[in-house]
């Protein structure tokens, strides 16, 4: 017969289904009569369940690294571009606003014209930023292709 210590040492193998049949029988016999070992088994299974999501089948390391760095890079770049674009749009629009400030303050200019001018300014700022983005993106892609060759 197994004693407590032997049983508790073999619980991980038992749970993993890697214990020889003879030992399984002995272990189960002990469990039937021993509450503290049953409790131990219970605890071990709970822990296994909690850890299960952390050790899903490992894909090859290379794939895994590429996957995560790919996701991370994409997120980082997207955030970078978002902040850059937002900042550039705000600055360009502010510059444009300063240019037409006098006209906007002029009470003789109809409000519709003022709105029109503001929309043109906003549109120009966004277009400029998207052109700059495109230029930078293309240059980066070309450099990448050179590296790959
Ligand atoms: Zn026991």
| Residue 20 in domain | yes
Cα angle: 25, vertex 26, 30; to 5 degrees: 115
pTM of the model: 0.40
- The whole domain housing 30 covers 4-55
Is residue 143 located within the same domain as residue 91? yes
Same domain assignment for residues 95 and 50: no
What is the CB neighbour count within 10 angstroms for residue 14?
A: 17
Show the tokens assigned to 15.
């749970």
Instruction: Determine the distance separating the centroid of ligand 1 and the alpha carbon of 32, expressed in angstroms.
Output: 9
Residue 75 has a pLDDT of: 80
User: Tens digits of per-residue pLDDT, 19-42?
Assistant: 999 999 999 999 999 999 999 999
Q: Could you give the number of structural domains in the chain? A: 2
Residues with CB in 5 Å of ion ligand 1: 4, 34, 37
Q: Residues 132, 84: one domain?
A: yes
CA of 13 to the centre of ligand 1 (A): 16
Domain co-membership, 90 together with 129: yes
Q: Are residues 37 and 95 in the same domain?
A: no
CA distances from 84 to 74, 79, 90 (A): 15, 8, 10
What is d(CA 47, CA 53) in angstroms, rounded to the nearest whole number? 11
Residues 87 and 30 in one domain: no
Could you tell me the distance, in angstroms and rounded to a whole number, from the CA of residue 37 to the centre of ligand 1?
A: 4
Q: Ligand 1 centre and the CA of 89: distance in Å?
A: 71
CA distance 136 to 32: 71
In a domain, 17, yes or no: yes
Same domain for 94 and 128, yes or no, is yes
Among residues 124, 133, 23, the alpha carbon closest in space to that of 77 is found at 133
Gap between the terminal Cα atoms of the chain: 67
Same domain, 51 and 85: no
Question: Per-residue pLDDT tens for 120-133?
Answer: 988 988 898 888 87
């Amino acid at each position: 017969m197994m004693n407590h210590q032997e049983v508790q040492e073999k619980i991980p193998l038992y749970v993993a289904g890697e214990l020889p049949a003879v030992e399984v029988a002995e272990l189960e016999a002990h469990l039937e009569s021993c509450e503290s070992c049953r409790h131990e088994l219970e605890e071990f299974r709970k822990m296994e369940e909690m850890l299960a999501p952390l050790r899903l089948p490992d894909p090859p390391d290379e794939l895994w690294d590429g996957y995560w760095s790919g996701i991370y890079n994409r997120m980082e770049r997207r955030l970078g571009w978002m902040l850059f674009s937002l900042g550039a749009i705000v600055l360009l629009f502010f510059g444009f606003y300063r240019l037409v400030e006098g006209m906007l303050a002029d009470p003789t200019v109809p409000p519709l014209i003022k709105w029109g001018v503001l929309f043109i300014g906003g549109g120009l700022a966004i277009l400029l930023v998207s052109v700059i983005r495109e230029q930078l993106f293309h240059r980066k892609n070309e450099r990448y292709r050179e590296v790959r060759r």
